[in-house]
Amino acid sequence: MYEGLRYKSYDLEKNFGLNKAFLNTDIYGITGEEFSLGRTNIQIVEEMIKAGIKIIQYREKEKSKFEKYNECKAIRKLTKDSGVTFIVNDDVDIALAVKADGIHIGQEDIPIEEVKKITGNMIIGLSTHNIEQAKAAVEKGADYIGVGPIFNTTTKKNVEKSEGLKYLKWVSENIPIPYVAIGGIKESNILEVKRHGGKCFAMISEIVGSPNIVEKVKSIRRLLNTI
């Protein structure tokens, strides 16, 4: 009976979109320690929060579970204290352990239906690279999708192929759930992404590789507000 109620309220939340505001924001920050000019993931997250970034994903491919858990624990505290949405990439167990707001998975991870069973009403984001994957993500109940890579990028190893801007435009006109553009997005090309339907922009190297993240974000926001 309690179980039933819990699921009912989850459905209500979904149906009325109460859970959907998390991507009503311009910049989606993602960690990438090797591009961070010697700063740690924690220091980068502190800078992102200072810069007013409202959603942050922890992405770390090189460290042990233990190190990742410890960093996520600290980032959960920082994001909670500042009202920032916290998403963990790949590791469902870590996301659950630190009570992150969400988990982001890829096409090669455990299927989203299974993740949903484990994570309850956590936000689930799924990376997509083409129209079929976007449609499937909606059918399977993803809360948002990643759309990309928009441009070439060397940040991600074995990066997938995508029609980039053309695919983004299609998503912007056809997909009813929130989406975030990703892959090679820079201050120098972000307006092109916006013109192709981009609303929320995920960036790794452009943000974490900037010596002054607060100024970088200000500058990108000035630009985004010009069209």
Residue 161 vs residues 26, 153, 164: alpha-carbon distances, Å: 24, 11, 8
Q: Select from 106, 138, 187, 221 the one that contacts Mg ion (CB under 5 A).
A: 106
**Binding mask of the shown chain, residues 67 to 96, with x at each position contacting Mg ion by CB under 5 A:** -----------------------x------
**Does the protein bind Mg ion through residue 52 (CB under 5 A)?**
no
- Structure token pair of residue 39: 């700063």
Q: Select from 185, 193, 213, 220 the one that contacts ligand TZP (CB under 6 A).
A: 185
CA angle 56, 42, 50 (to 5 degrees): 60
Q: Which stretch binds Mg ion (CB under 5 A): 7-15, 71-79, 106-114, 173-181?
A: 106-114
Is 164 annotated as contributing to ligand binding? no
Closest contact distance (angstroms) between CB of 11 and Mg ion is 28
Return the number of the residue (47 or 101) whose C-beta is nearest Mg ion. Answer: 101
Residue 106 binding result from ligand TZP, Mg ion, none, given CB thresholds of 5 to 8 Å by partner type: Mg ion
Return the number of the residue (160 or 187) whose C-beta is nearest Mg ion. Answer: 160
Q: Select from 102, 148, 197, 198 the one that contacts ligand TZP (CB under 6 A).
A: 148
Strand, helix or coil for residue 161: coil
145 has which bridge partners?
Answer: 126, 179
Q: Select from 183, 194, 198, 216 the one that contacts ligand TZP (CB under 6 A).
A: 183
Residues 6+ apart with CB under 8 A from 70: none
CA distance 57 to 95: 11
> Is residue 35 within 8 Å of residue 204, measured between CB atoms?
yes
Q: Which stretch binds Mg ion (CB under 5 A): 42-50, 74-82, 101-109, 170-178?
A: 101-109
> Is residue 98 within 8 Å of residue 72, measured between CB atoms?
yes
Write out the catalytic residue numbers: 59, 127, 156
> Is residue 202 within 8 Å of residue 30, measured between CB atoms?
yes
Residues 6+ apart with CB under 8 A from 147: 128, 134, 162, 167, 168, 171, 179, 180, 181, 182
Closest contact distance (angstroms) between CB of 121 and ligand TZP is 25
Q: Select from 131, 136, 159, 214 the one that contacts ligand TZP (CB under 6 A).
A: 159
Annotated binding site: 57-61, 89-90, 109, 127, 153-156, 184, 204-205
By the criterion CB under 5 A, which residues form the site for Mg ion? 90, 106
